[in-house]
Amino acid sequence: HKAQVRKFEYDQILGMRDDMLREYYRGDELHTTPNQVCHPTSPELFRSGWNGSLPCRCNASSGVHDLHCAKESRDEPPFNLTVAFTGDVHGFIEHSAQTLTHFNYLRGSCQNVLIVDAGDVFVGSDFFREYGPSAMGDLMHMLGYNAMALGNHDMEFINSLPEFSKRGGFPVLSVNVRADGVESSTVLVIGEKRVGLTAYTVEEDTSNSRRRQMLKHG
């Protein structure tokens, strides 16, 4: 039964017109929680996945968060930052067009938008096996990512990271990995603010000695 409900919701979203989508994404009605975006009247309508907050592969994680910074002074308005993220894409690109539509909607409707990936872009799909990291870099460049965290599966193609980062147009981040093409941190200018980003690669996820040797301690 749950599978039928999800299929129905999935078909509903795929068939939405732009005006329907805008109605669902009115800022005063949008409720955000980790890994999903929900409309109050239909709390399970939007399911997480590779394409932002629209449904796709169940092994991918994503979502949209609104971050609100305190006022720096009485005269300065608060800085609101909308963060859209994906993770565990593993080379599956089936919903890339929907992802781009969703990201472009956020960029057009929100003043300050940051789009990041939490890692494990590589390994898993026939597309990735055929075309490799460079093609994923080209695709993520078209989608407009600002940065990416280095995942354990991404380390399997560690020598490809410089070219991947160059083609993607964004930094690959890990504060505890030594490798070409990996930066410990970056600072982005979003709106009128400087936003600092970093990432950490979990040690127990590095399953072979070569990857463990790249990790920095302390």
Question: What's the pLDDT at 7?
Answer: 53
In a domain, 51, yes or no: no
What letter represents residue 142's amino acid?
A: M
In a domain, 49, yes or no: no
In a domain, 10, yes or no: no
Per-residue pLDDT band for 98 (boundaries 50, 70, 90) equals confident
Domain count, the chain: 1
d(CA 131, CA 123): 11
In a domain, 186, yes or no: yes
Question: What's the pLDDT at 213?
Answer: 62
CATH label of the domain that carries residue 164: 3.60.21.10
Per-residue pLDDT band for 134 (boundaries 50, 70, 90) equals very high
In the numeric block, which tokens belong to residue 147? 């940065």
In a domain, 34, yes or no: no
Average pLDDT for 197-210: 70
CB neighbours of 190 closer than 8 A, spacing ≥ 6? 81, 112, 113, 114
pLDDT at 163 over 90: yes
In a domain, 94, yes or no: yes
In a domain, 15, yes or no: no
Q: Work out the burial of residue 95: count CB atoms within 10 Å of its CB; fewer than 13 is exposed, 13-18 middle, 19 or more buried.
A: buried
> What is the span of the domain harbouring residue 114?
59-214
Mapped onto helix, strand or coil, the DSSP state of residue 205 is helix
